[in-house]
Amino acid sequence: MKLSKNNCKILLETLLLTRDNEIDCGKCESLLAEFIEQKLENKSLDESLELVRAHLELCAECREEFEALEVALEGLTEAEK
């Protein structure tokens, strides 16, 4: 399979974003609720939740799930006010 110049650029950019201590999608999903709670309360994130943020930057599937959950929780928060 031959890669276009643009595909090569995207792959290289993604590689530059990777870290030694990344988490997988399963671990991200297990920490997602805690991540959102702390984000909505404007609390600082501990190290494990920083890994969630890093994973969300790279993984479109998890980021989509996070964004949907965030919208739902923000709606609940607004309804409680």
Q: What is the pLDDT of residues 31-72, one digit of tens each?
A: 888 888 888 888 888 877 888 888 998 899 999 999 998 888
> From residue 47, how far is each of 10, 13, 17, 69 by CA, in Å?
27, 24, 17, 21
The three state secondary structure string of 61-72 is HHHHHHHHHHHH
Residue holding tokens 């399963």?
A: 26
Q: Tally the domains of the chain.
A: 1
Q: Is the pTM of this model over 0.75?
A: no
What pLDDT shows up at residue 72? 85
Instruction: Give a yes or no: residue 36 inside a domain.
Output: yes
> From residue 6, how far is each of 3, 13, 16, 28, 45 by CA, in Å?
8, 11, 15, 29, 34
What pLDDT shows up at residue 20? 67
d(CA 70, CA 62): 12
More confident residue, 60 or 75: 60
Q: Identify the domain containing residue 34 by its residue range.
A: 24-80
Instruction: Give a yes or no: residue 53 inside a domain.
Output: yes
Instruction: Give a yes or no: residue 29 inside a domain.
Output: yes
Instruction: Give a yes or no: residue 69 inside a domain.
Output: yes
